[in-house]
Every structure is written in C-alpha cells, then in structure tokens.
Chains A and B, each alone.
Chain A
Amino acid sequence: DAGVTQSPTHLIKTRGQQVTLRCSPISGHKSVSWYQQVLGQGPQFIFQYYEKEERGRGNFPDRFSARQFPNYSSELNVNALLLGDSALYLCASSRSGTSGEQFFGPGTRLTVL
C-alpha cells in the first residue's frame, strides 16, 4: 500500500507570497494532521481534520488555513509568508485520529526568502 504522499517536496517563495501544500493520506485513513518542523526542533501541531471537519488547531496565526476533501486528501495554505515560516511541513494520516498513532509523509521543505 502507498504511504502518505506530499507535494511538492521542495518550495522556494519570497516574503508576502502565498503557498499551498498538498497531502494524500494512506488509503482508508480519514484523518489528516499538519505539523511544522523548524530545523533542530520537534514538530509543532498546526491542524487536524477528520471527515472534512476541523478537529483541532494549534497555536498558529490565521495566515494558516487548511481543508480536507471528500477523498480525504488535504491542503495547507499559508498566506503572507514570513521568513519564519521556513520549515519542513509534515502531513500525517490516521484511521480515526483518536489513538494518536499517525503515519507521516516525507514532508515539504518550504524556504521563504
């Protein structure tokens, strides 16, 4: 079975631009979570979606938004990019999101210049 896939793998943007990151979960998984991992730190939770509904949101500004589609894939949008948004963005999927076990994609490396 295919694992969690993310696109693109790398992205370079300039300050003020907008970016959309995409994630496809493992087949049969209905929950998708997004994390930001700054170099040298652990992941920070951004969003969780389950059955297209937002289940949780971390301490991130409103410039960050996400959605989940009927096929359970998901997009993360970040507006008005700042230099500090440079990070590895990880997507994780799980069957229900209530046991904590999540399976991670390879991530999208975003660089903001």
Chain B
Amino acid sequence: AQSVTQLGSHVSVSEGALVLLRCNYSSSVPPYLFWYVQYPNQGLQLLLKYTSAATLVKGINGFEAEFKKSETSFHLTKPSAHMSDAAEYFCAVSDRESNYQLIWGAGTKLIIKP
C-alpha cells in the first residue's frame, strides 16, 4: 500500500535561510507527487506537482522539489525563507494502484524565525 512519510513535524529556519522539507513515499507503480501548503484556518493550496516529466519541478512562491526515484523522495526546497512562508506543508502521492486517490503525509509545520 502507498504511504507518505514527512520527516519532522516541525521545522524551524531563520528568515533568509534555506528551507528543506523532506518527503519519502512508497509506491509500486509510477506515482504522481504533490506538495500542498495550508495557511491557518484555510484550505489546501497546490504548490507543485510531479507527473513524470522533468524530475526538478518548480512551483509557486519560489519553491521547488526534486523527484529521486532511487531514493523514493520528493523533498521540497526554497533557497531563501520569507516570513510569509510560515504554514503547514503536506506531501501527497497518488497512482493507478490507489485509483488516483491522494495519500497524504502527516504534514510539516514550517516556522520562520526573524
């Protein structure tokens, strides 16, 4: 069965520092991979998606993620953190085996220190 693991329920970085949020997945067939962001008391907004094209995916707000099949990873990065990036980030996977239902990680809360 598919699963998604996000390492670190909370990640704290200083403003201007590199952001790295980790996501590992398990899937027996080629997956679609997603990162969503959720601001307090709001719904989920798609940051970026991997759908078997380029392995380096660029998203909104300066975020990007790299699909590494050998490591079954899809880590999210941003070169320079901004205060407005403080939110909860969710990694999700879907594939034919799951009937394209989204399987979610538990989320990582990103804290930005001034």
Total number of residue pairs linking A and B with CB closer than 8 Å? 59
* Per-residue A-contact encoding for B71-105, CB less than 8 Å = 1, 0 else: 00000000000000000001010110001111111
Complex Cα spacing A6 to B96, Å: 28
* Per-residue B-contact encoding for A25-69, CB less than 8 Å = 1, 0 else: 000000001000000011111001000000110100000000000
Interface residue tally on B, bucketed by range:
20 to 34
Interface residue tally on A, bucketed by range:
20 to 34
Q: Which of A74-92 contact B (CB under 8 A)?
A: 90, 92
Q: Which residues of B contact A100 (CB under 8 A)?
A: 32, 34, 49, 92, 94-95, 100, 102
A42 touches B107 (CB 8 A): yes
A101 touches B46 (CB 8 A): yes
Q: Which of B35-61 contact A (CB under 8 A)?
A: 36, 41-46, 49, 51
A106 touches B43 (CB 8 A): yes
B5 nearest CB across to chain A (Å)? 11
B53 nearest CB across to chain A (Å)? 12
Residues of A participating in the B interface, judged by any CB pair closer than 8 Å: 4, 33, 41-45, 48, 55-56, 58, 90, 92, 97-107, 109
List 8 additional contacts besides A43-B104, A44-B104; criterion CB under 8 Å. A41-B106, A42-B105, A43-B44, A90-B44, A99-B51, A99-B94, A100-B102, A105-B43
